[in-house]
Structure 1
Amino acid sequence: MSRGRTMDELPSGQGSGRPDRFPGSVSTETGTIVAASASSDPGVDVVESDRRRPGSLGAQSAKGNGRAMTAMGFSQAVDNSEGGLINTFFPLIGAAFGVGEGMLGLLSAISKFARMIFGPFWAMMADRYGRKRILILVTGVWGLWTVASGFAPSFTWLLILYAISVVGTVASEPIINGLLPDLFKQSQRGKAYGTIRAIGGGVGILLGPAIGLFARGDDPSPDAWRYAMWTMGAISILSGVLIAMWVKDPRQNTAREDMLAEAGRFKLSDAAKLFRIPTFSLMAGMVVLVTSLVLLAFYPNFLVVERGLSIFEATLAMSCFSIGAVFSAYLGGRLADLFVAKFGEKGRVMLMQIYLVAFGATVALVTQLPYEGIAFAYPLTFLLGLIFSIGFSGCVLPMVSNVVPRQLNATAFALLFSFIQGGLTALMALGLGFLAEAFSSQMMFLWFVVVPYLLNAGYWTLFYRTYPRDVELQEERTALVEAGEF
C-alpha cells in the first residue's frame, strides 16, 4: 500500500541518482517467537520531505512516529506470540487431551492456512474501512477468542476456538505492511525493517519466561496452558488499546477520491502482473525452500521431549532465541547496507547466500548435536536466533520492495508471504507433525530444514542476473502501472 504520490512528489534518492522507493512489508517470519519491545529506535529517521501529503504519518513528530512504531511492533509481536504459546505449552496440552505431535502439526497448520486465506482478506478490509479500525478489531477485540481458547473442554473445542482466534491474529502483518511505507525512505529501509523485527523480538525476552512461570517446576499444573492462554488474550487486548492511542492512520484525513485513486491497495487481480517481474517470480520459487517456520513450530517441543528441558526452561531457551533475533534484525539491515555500498545491488544477493548456508549449518549444529540439558540448549538457541533474521531483514524484504511497482507493494507482500509461503508452510507443518511423531523431530529438521536451506543458497545464484536489472526498471514499471499499461 503506497502513499499514492505522483512521481514528481517522491523525495530524491540519497546518493543513488534515482528516486527513493518505499518499503512494502515487514515479514513475520519469526513465526513462533513470543515478542515485542516497548521502546522505539532513536537511530531510525522518518521520511523527510518538504511536500508531505496532509494527514500523512510522515508529518507527525519523531515522538509520534516512535510511539506508533512501538504500538505496531507490539501488536505484531503479540499476534505472532500466540503460535509460540501453543508450541511451547503443547506437552501439557497433549497430556491433557491425549494427543501427540501430529496434532501439534495440525495446530501449526491452522495458523498458516489462516495467514494464507485471511491475510489478503484483512488487507482488503483495512483498505475499505480504515487500517487503524481493523487493527483495533483484530488485535485488541479479537483477543477475547484467545481467552475463550483457555476454557476449551476438549481438544476439538480447542481446535475450533484456536482457529477462530488465529483468523484475527494474522491480520496485523499485512495491515502494518501498508503503514510502514509512509514512515521510511529507501536510505533508511534496512534500519526500518531491522527495527520493527527488533521491536517484535524484544518483549519476548521478558514475556516468554513470564508466561512460562505458569509451568514452572518439574510437575507443573495441568491447567498451566489455560492460564497462559488467558494471559495472552489479555495482553492482546492491551495491544489494541495501544493502537487506538498511538497510531494515526495516514489515510484518515484523506479525501475519499484520493483514497480511491491510490493504487497501493491489495488487489487480487494485480497478482498475475507481478510475475512479469523476473525477480518476483524467483522469489515465489525461493519461499518454497524457506522452511524456518516449520523449524520454529516444532523446536520448543523438541527441547522438552528430546533435550530434556522443562516447559519453563524451554521458554527461557526461546528467550535466548529472542535475544539473538534482536541482534540479528539490526545486524541484517546494517550488513546489507555495507554489502550494497561495496558490491552494488548484487550485494544483497551475496549476503543472502552467505546467510542461507550459515543458517542451515547452524540448524544442523543445534538439532543434530547430541546433548541434554540447559548448558548447551541456551547458547545454541541463542546462536540460532543470532543468524535467524539476517537474510530477511537485510535482503528479501528490501529486494521485493526495490523491484515491485510501488502501487503493487501490498499485493506483492500479501501474495508472497501470506498466500504462497503461508500455504506451503501449512501443508508442510500438517505432514511433518505426523512424520516427527512417527520418527523424530531431529530427523525431520535435518531433511526438511537443513537440506532446503542449502539448496536455496544455490538457487539464489539466479538473482545475480535478474535483480540489478529489475531495480533499474522499477520506476519505469511504476509509471506503466499508473498509466494502466503494465
Structure 2
Amino acid sequence: MGRARTRAGFVSVAFEFLRSLFPRNFRANNMKIKTGKFLGVSISLILINLAAIMERADENLLPSVYKEVSEAFNAGPSDLGYLTFVRNFVQGLASPLAGVLVITYDRPIVLAIGTLCWALSTAAVGASKYFFQVALWRAVNGFGLAIVIPALQSFIADSYKDGTRGAGFGLLNLIGTIGGIGGGVVATVMAGSEFWGIPGWRCAFIMMATLSAVIGLLVFLFVVDPRMNIQREELMVHKTNSTSVWNDSWAATKSVIKVRTFQIIVVQGIVGSLPWTAMVFFTMWFELIGFDHNQTAALLGVFATGGAIGTLMGGIIADKMSRIFPNSGRVMCAQFSAFMGIPFSIILLKAIPQSTDSYSIFSITLFLMGLTITWCGSAVNAPMFAEVVPPKHRTMIYAFDRAFEGSFSSFAAPLVGILSEKMFGYDSKGIDPLKGSSVREADALSKGLLSMMALPFGLCCLCYTPLHFVFQKDRENAKTATSKETEMA
C-alpha cells in the first residue's frame, strides 16, 4: 500500500507541476472552452478524434516504408515482422495499465501521457542508426498506444447512448482512418525523396511525431472527461489519498474477466486480429509487384477509404439490427463481416494477376474488401463491451481486450515473413535493385499473406456463434449491477 501511495503521489506532483505552468485565469478560461462547442460539436470530442487520427497515422507509418527500412537496415520480411511483433506484444502486455490509470486520473491526462510517449518513440525511430534501436523504440511506441487506445474507446462509449454506439465507434474509426490514410500516403510518397540530405522516410517519422506531441498537449489542456461530475482537483485529492487503488483495479479485473461475452469476443479477436496484423505487408507486396510509391499509396488509400466508410456503414447497420434483434443483431453483422474476408483474400492474393496491369482490378477489390470486412470492431465488439459491464469498468474491459488480442495477434507479422521465406521461397537478394520489384518474391509473399488471412477469417466467423446465447444474460447482469451501484450512491 505504501508503494501505491508513493506512485500516486509522484503522479500527483507531476500533475500539479503541469498545472503550475498555466496561470489561474488561463485555467478558468480553459474550463469554458472545454464545455464549449465548435460548429455544434463538443470541443472535447473534436480533440479526441484528432488524437484518433494521429494514433492511426502513427500505426501506418512503419508498414508504409517497409521497403526503405529493409534497405536501410538490410532486413528481410521476418525481421520487419518482428518490429510489428515487438510493438503489438508490448502494447498487449501494457494495456491493463490504462484501466488502472483511469481509476486514479481522468482520461485526458492518461491520453496525453500515452500520446507524448508514442510521439517520442516515433521521432526516435526516424533518428535510429541501427536495427536494434528501431526495435527498442517500437516497443516504447507500443507502450504509448497501450495507454491511449482503451482510454479512447471508453471515452467514446461514455459519450454515446445504447443503440447508437455502433455509429459512434464507426465515426471514430472513419475519422481515425483519415489519419491512417494520411500517415500511410505521406510516408509512402516521402519515402521516395530526400529532404536536406535526410531520407524521406525519416523525415516523415519526425514530422508525425511533432504533430502527435502537439495533439497530446491540446488533449491535456482542453479535453474534459464525460464521466466527471466534480472538478479535476477534487478527483485528484480523493484518489491520491486513497489506499484502495490496486484493490479497485483487482476488483475491476475480476469483474471483467468473468463476463462470458468478453471471453468469447477475446477468443475471436485473437484469431480475427491475425489477418489485420498480416496486412502490414501490403505496401511491400504491391511494390514487389512493380507499383511505384505513388501507385502503392493510392491503392492503400482506396483500401483505407473503403474501410473508413465500411466502419461507419457497419455501425449504422448494426445499430438498426440491434433494435430489431436485441440479442443477436450485432452478432449477425460480425459473422457476415468476418466471412467476407475469405473470398476477398482469395480474390486479392490469388485470383488477380500480380501485374501492374491489374491496377484497376486491385483498386475495386480493395475498396469492396474494406467496405465489408471492417464491421467487427466498431459495429459489434466495442458497443457490446459497453453493455456487458458497469460504466466504471469500461476502460478496463477495453484494456484487457487489447491485452489479449494484441499479445497473440502480434505473432502474425513475423509468421508471414517466416512462411514467405522458409516455405514459399522469398529471397531478398532476388529483388531487382533498380526497379525494386520481383515477381517471384511477390508471389511468395502473397502466399504467406493468404495463409494468415483466409483461414483466420473463417475461424473468426465461427467463434462469434456462442454470443447468440450468452450476450442477453451478460447485458442484464450489467444493468442489474449498475442499478445497485446507483442505489448505493
Q: 1:258 to 1:186 in 2, by over 3 A?
A: farther
Partner of 1:303, secondary structure, is helix
Which residue in 2 is equivalent to 1:462? 466
| Distance in 2 of aligned mates of 1:150 and 1:275 | 38
**Would you say 1:415 and 2:400 are equivalent positions?**
yes
Aligned runs of 1:176-325 on 2, under 5 Å?
176-216=152-192, 223-250=199-226, 251=228, 253=231, 255-256=234-235, 267-290=249-272, 291-305=274-288, 307-325=289-307
Using the TM superposition, name which of 101-110 and 360-369 deviates more: 360-369
CA deviations on 1:22-49 (whole Å, 9 max, x unpaired) are: xxxxxxxxxxxxxxxxxxxxxxxxxxxx
Q: 1:267 to 1:313 in 2, by over 3 A?
A: farther
Match among 101, 108, 113 for residue 125 of structure 1: 101
| Distance in 2 of aligned mates of 1:437 and 1:483 | 61
Query: Is the contact between residue 213 and residue 312 of structure 1 (CA under 8 Å) also seen in structure 2?
Result: yes
Partner of 1:323, secondary structure, is helix
**Paired amino acid for 1:281:** Q
Post-superposition offset of 1:196: 0.8
| Distance in 1 of aligned mates of 2:114 and 2:261 | 33
Using the TM superposition, name which of 180-189 and 90-99 deviates more: 180-189
Query: Is the contact between residue 275 and residue 452 of structure 2 (CA under 8 Å) also seen in structure 1?
Result: no
**Bigger helix fraction:** 2
CA deviations on 1:453-479 (whole Å, 9 max, x unpaired) are: 112222322221112232233212335
Which residue in 1 is equivalent to 2:374? 389
**Paired amino acid for 1:433:** G
State, as a whole percentage, how many aligned pairs show the same letter: 20
Which residue in 1 is equivalent to 2:349? 367
Please, which runs of 5 or more residues in structure 2 have no aligned partner?
1-30, 425-443
Please, which runs of 5 or more residues in structure 1 have no aligned partner?
1-54
Partner of 2:163, secondary structure, is helix
| Distance in 2 of aligned mates of 1:398 and 1:408 | 14
Post-superposition offset of 1:134: 3.3
TM-score by length of 1: 0.78
Post-superposition offset of 1:447: 2.6
TM-score by length of 2: 0.78
Which residue in 2 is equivalent to 1:72? 48
Query: Is the contact between residue 180 and residue 304 of structure 2 (CA under 8 Å) also seen in structure 1?
Result: yes
Query: Is the contact between residue 69 and residue 196 of structure 1 (CA under 8 Å) also seen in structure 2?
Result: no
**Would you say 1:153 and 2:129 are equivalent positions?**
yes
Which residue in 2 is equivalent to 1:33? none
Q: 1:215 to 1:281 in 2, by over 3 A?
A: closer
Post-superposition offset of 1:410: 1.8
Query: Is the contact between residue 407 and residue 481 of structure 1 (CA under 8 Å) also seen in structure 2?
Result: no
| Distance in 1 of aligned mates of 2:246 and 2:42 | 24
Query: Is the contact between residue 262 and residue 407 of structure 1 (CA under 8 Å) also seen in structure 2?
Result: no
Match among 333, 338, 341 for residue 356 of structure 1: 338
Query: Is the contact between residue 118 and residue 167 of structure 1 (CA under 8 Å) also seen in structure 2?
Result: yes
Query: Is the contact between residue 136 and residue 244 of structure 1 (CA under 8 Å) also seen in structure 2?
Result: yes
| Distance in 2 of aligned mates of 1:173 and 1:264 | 21
Query: Is the contact between residue 143 and residue 236 of structure 1 (CA under 8 Å) also seen in structure 2?
Result: yes
Q: 1:353 to 1:182 in 2, by over 3 A?
A: closer
Bigger radius of gyration among the two: 2
Query: Is the contact between residue 263 and residue 408 of structure 1 (CA under 8 Å) also seen in structure 2?
Result: no
Q: 1:482 to 1:161 in 2, by over 3 A?
A: same
Which residue in 2 is equivalent to 1:450? 454
Query: Is the contact between residue 211 and residue 231 of structure 1 (CA under 8 Å) also seen in structure 2?
Result: no
Q: 1:160 to 1:276 in 2, by over 3 A?
A: closer
| Distance in 1 of aligned mates of 2:248 and 2:369 | 34
Post-superposition offset of 1:193: 0.9
| Distance in 2 of aligned mates of 1:149 and 1:274 | 35
| Distance in 1 of aligned mates of 2:252 and 2:265 | 17
Q: 1:87 to 1:457 in 2, by over 3 A?
A: same
| Distance in 2 of aligned mates of 1:262 and 1:479 | 23
Q: 1:129 to 1:457 in 2, by over 3 A?
A: closer
Which residue in 1 is equivalent to 2:408? 424
Query: Is the contact between residue 189 and residue 293 of structure 2 (CA under 8 Å) also seen in structure 1?
Result: no
Query: Is the contact between residue 136 and residue 240 of structure 1 (CA under 8 Å) also seen in structure 2?
Result: yes
CA deviations on 1:246-270 (whole Å, 9 max, x unpaired) are: 4123447153377679999982443
| Distance in 1 of aligned mates of 2:246 and 2:321 | 30
Post-superposition offset of 1:336: 0.7
Query: Is the contact between residue 121 and residue 141 of structure 2 (CA under 8 Å) also seen in structure 1?
Result: yes
**Paired amino acid for 1:396:** N
Post-superposition offset of 1:138: 2.8
**Paired amino acid for 2:86:** I
Aligned length: 426
Partner of 1:248, secondary structure, is coil
| Distance in 2 of aligned mates of 1:195 and 1:264 | 34
**Would you say 1:471 and 2:475 are equivalent positions?**
yes
Q: 1:377 to 1:173 in 2, by over 3 A?
A: same
Partner of 2:128, secondary structure, is coil
Query: Is the contact between residue 92 and residue 406 of structure 2 (CA under 8 Å) also seen in structure 1?
Result: yes
Query: Is the contact between residue 208 and residue 315 of structure 1 (CA under 8 Å) also seen in structure 2?
Result: yes
**Paired amino acid for 1:134:** V
Post-superposition offset of 1:227: 1.6
Which residue in 2 is equivalent to 1:39? none
| Distance in 1 of aligned mates of 2:341 and 2:34 | 36
CA deviations on 1:48-85 (whole Å, 9 max, x unpaired) are: xxxxxxx9999654758543223212213322322321
| Distance in 2 of aligned mates of 1:318 and 1:280 | 32
Query: Is the contact between residue 118 and residue 141 of structure 2 (CA under 8 Å) also seen in structure 1?
Result: yes
CA RMSD in angstroms comes to 3.2
**Would you say 1:435 and 2:413 are equivalent positions?**
no
Using the TM superposition, name which of 228-237 and 424-433 deviates more: 424-433
Post-superposition offset of 1:207: 4.2
| Distance in 1 of aligned mates of 2:384 and 2:280 | 26
| Distance in 2 of aligned mates of 1:174 and 1:281 | 17
| Distance in 2 of aligned mates of 1:336 and 1:56 | 36
| Distance in 2 of aligned mates of 1:261 and 1:471 | 31
Q: 1:124 to 1:352 in 2, by over 3 A?
A: same
Post-superposition offset of 1:244: 3.8
| Distance in 2 of aligned mates of 1:404 and 1:56 | 32
Q: 1:165 to 1:405 in 2, by over 3 A?
A: closer
**Paired amino acid for 2:202:** R
